[in-house]
Structure 1
Amino acid sequence: MLLLDSNIVGNLDLYFNNINYSKEHDDRSLLVHDLLTFTAKSKWDFNYNFYLLESLLNNGPNDFIKSSLDSLININRVLMLNNDQFLESGSVTICDETFRFYCEKYNSNSVEEISLSILKQKLNSWPTAKSMGLAMKISYICLIEMFLIHKTSKKSVPKKMEEFLNFIDEKIRNKMGVEEILAIHYFFNKFNSFFKIELNSSFMKCSSNLKATSRDLYFIRMIEDFFGSSLPTVAKYCYICTFEHSIKELFDILKPSLIKVENNRVSLSIRNFDFKYLENEKNIDTVIDYYINKKRFGNRKPLTESEIELLVCESESRLKNILKS
């Protein structure tokens, strides 16, 4: 299954709407054609949740349906693609059987009605934009702490990790599994340039980069929700289809899988859908196993909105002071 981001969906829109006949459009059309050929041959599905989540965060609930409808119609045309006819002639036509399935599922009579029904369901079932924002702020606080510990401490990796987990236990009062795995990599200098910030960077640059990372981490965290609360016993592969190098690196670290789009061509990198273990990194595996399974404080009250805002102010103040010193 391929999770499409907004850049890839933009190319799909160009492909279907044919609004531009420039060389750039030709290249993008070739990219989309390659992608459709790959999915038609492999019988893989596209998934629109990643794109719709981006759209909800970017446009807010009031403009979500209006801003997403046309693109979702194009995505659904791909989901209902007659694969055999596309491979034979390159024409994009809808498979009648698949179309009837979606019509019945969403009690609709057209691709437009199906798409509108999906958007309304997502708007009602997904977290509100406010709760998403608060979740990203908690992640942002953790990332600031991660950066400060790594850049200002000469402790060993286990000691840095202990300090980071104590911060999460005492201040966040919740397990932050994605950030914990990311911290292990960061403390091991496996992606030291990932944040692209150092102690001589400006506060604005640091804050902007860490906020962008917290947003990417939220997208990754939502992937589990896309496929239900528990993963199936049979291996299920999930791939992100994107141009964004930063989120590619995050996905690579956290071990979902990637469809890499390089030089307007599609390449496939298969990895198991697994957030817990990292291949061929025995020393990191040992640390991860220890800290992921370590018993932590439970039954803590979740942070209130005012507590989150206060923690953001405190963390940013510490970050400013360190950058000035």
Structure 2
Amino acid sequence: MYQKYKAYFLGTEDKHAHFFEIAASPYDSMFYSDSKVFGNGEHKIHIIDQFCGKRPALFNHEFCTNDDELKLNFWCSITLDSNVVSLLHELVTNRSEMNVDQHDATHEFLRHLTEVNCDYSPIFYVMESFFKSDEDNFYEHVPKVLSSVLKLHSMNEAIFLKDGVITPKPDAIKYYCELYNSSSLDGCGLHWAQRIVKDIRDTDVEYKVNLTYASLLKMVLIKHADNKGIYKKSEEFENFMMDELGIRLARESSLALYYFSNLAGKFINTQANMAFDVAVHDLKATAWDLYLLKLPEQLLTPNDLPELNTSYVATSEVKLYEIGKLFDIQHLAYRTDNANKGIPVLSFDMLDIENKVGNTTVAKLMKRNEEISFRRMAKENIDGIHHHKLESLINDLEIQLSYLCVKHT
């Protein structure tokens, strides 16, 4: 593996390419060797490992053309889903009123984060809240939740581990007040929210979520259109992504196989007799869930070398955990001269699909997907659909969905 990359960099002198080998990495993870579950009751919190229990191995020009070892500083972060952030907020502000199972799972989860001294981030919660709510509602609720997260970040860890009590640490509070230019953690929560909003206004987060939402709409329409088999349905979906979206989405491609095999369960639970507004709400929520699963590969970048962030998703949604465990990031190619975009190669557990449709069909699906991947890689420029055209496409797909929902009510 090393010789392959060394030959590439010596032959090209390419200083912008960075290759992260994950599944083939010779290094065990410094953080999680597998996914973890917290809580023994009905309510649980899960940490999803999408790195195959490995520490990513980085190959770039510096490493492959120098005899010196590339010194990297890996750190672990946990990206919290919105439900987990809300549970942590409840633990801080309304602990006595929490459901027993929710309390125990949340407390156990927080204890784990404290023991391993792991960073945990509410950034996904803030992004989802910002794009889903109006500004007044956002600033009424989100700063309070961020204030609770800061109270957890600034608590006395030793007291919490010994007695389970959240006790402030003055030096930590002073640090956050200086960082966010405020006299209290409540004010810090507001300023933190404002900073995040300023940053995400200039991102393409909403566009990426809408690409997934459009894909999910098309999945539902294809599945309910006729009784074609999984091969024909997935072929129609692949053509939709390439012809309409102009881009092939890896997780959505694999999830479509799962969905067309009737294995997605409640993760995509849109039925023909559902109310239209409920169907739209659920599909948009699923689009955000899939975006959350993509954050670990987006956060693993060479932009801050020698610092590298190995991030894991934490969720309290069982179906998201089950779907998330099916994906592994095998490899990540990254160019710092191409808008800082990483291109992941994912593996997807096909065992349940094979049990459902047979190994012959699965072999045909995998062969076709491999051919599609090679064709896409051969293209020099791949441009996704323009965001205005994407909005029009979504409107059209929603109209078709409304006919489906109304037709069977």
Does TM-score exceed 0.5, indicating one fold? yes
Equivalent residues of 1:14, 1:25 under 8 A apart: no
- Equivalents in 1 of 2:89, 2:125: separation in Å? 13
Alignment match, 1:264: none
Note the 1:184-199 alignment, pairs <5 A: 184-191=257-264, 194-199=267-272
Q: Does 1:240 align with 2:314?
A: yes
Higher strand share: 2
Alignment match, 1:75: 149
Alignment match, 1:314: 396
Note the 1:197-236 alignment, pairs <5 A: 197-199=270-272, 201=274, 203-222=276-295, 224-225=297-298, 228=301, 236=310
- Equivalents in 1 of 2:135, 2:302: separation in Å? 24
Q: Does 1:60 align with 2:130?
A: no
For structure 2, list consecutive stretches of 5 or more residues without a partner in the other structure. 1-76, 330-343, 355-361
Q: TM-score, normalised by structure 2?
A: 0.59
Amino acid at match of 2:80: L
Note the 1:159-308 alignment, pairs <5 A: 159-191=232-264, 194-199=267-272, 201=274, 203-222=276-295, 224-225=297-298, 228=301, 236-242=310-316, 244-254=317-327, 276-279=346-349, 281=351, 283=362, 286=366, 290=370, 293-296=373-376, 298-300=381-383, 302-305=385-388, 307-308=389-390
Amino acid at match of 1:12: L
Alignment match, 2:83: 7
Match of 2:161 among 70, 82, 87: 87
Alignment match, 1:45: 119
Shift of 1:206: 3.9
CA 1:292 to 1:122, structure 2 compared with 1: closer, same or farther past 3 Å? farther
SS of alignment partner, residue 315 of structure 2:
strand
Equivalent residues of 2:78, 2:314 under 8 A apart: yes
- Equivalents in 2 of 1:301, 1:87: separation in Å? 49
Equivalent residues of 1:48, 1:72 under 8 A apart: yes
Alignment match, 2:30: none
CA 1:40 to 1:309, structure 2 compared with 1: closer, same or farther past 3 Å? closer
Shift of 1:165: 1.9
Higher helix share: 1
SS of alignment partner, residue 133 of structure 2:
helix
- Equivalents in 2 of 1:213, 1:309: separation in Å? 18
Amino acid at match of 1:294: F
- Equivalents in 1 of 2:175, 2:202: separation in Å? 30
Equivalent residues of 2:212, 2:287 under 8 A apart: yes
- Equivalents in 2 of 1:316, 1:206: separation in Å? 10
Report the more deviating stretch, 226-235 or 152-161.
Answer: 226-235
Equivalent residues of 1:55, 1:67 under 8 A apart: no
Q: TM-score, normalised by structure 1?
A: 0.72
Shift of 1:240: 1.5
Equivalent residues of 1:3, 1:47 under 8 A apart: yes
- Equivalents in 2 of 1:276, 1:215: separation in Å? 19
SS of alignment partner, residue 183 of structure 1:
helix
- Structure 1's consecutive aligned runs of 4 or more residues displaced over 6 angstroms after TM superposition are 229-235
Q: Which has the larger radius of gyration?
A: 2
- CA-based RMSD of the aligned residues comes to 4.0
SS of alignment partner, residue 277 of structure 1:
strand
Greater RCO structure (CA 8 Å; 6+ sep): 2
SS of alignment partner, residue 124 of structure 1:
helix
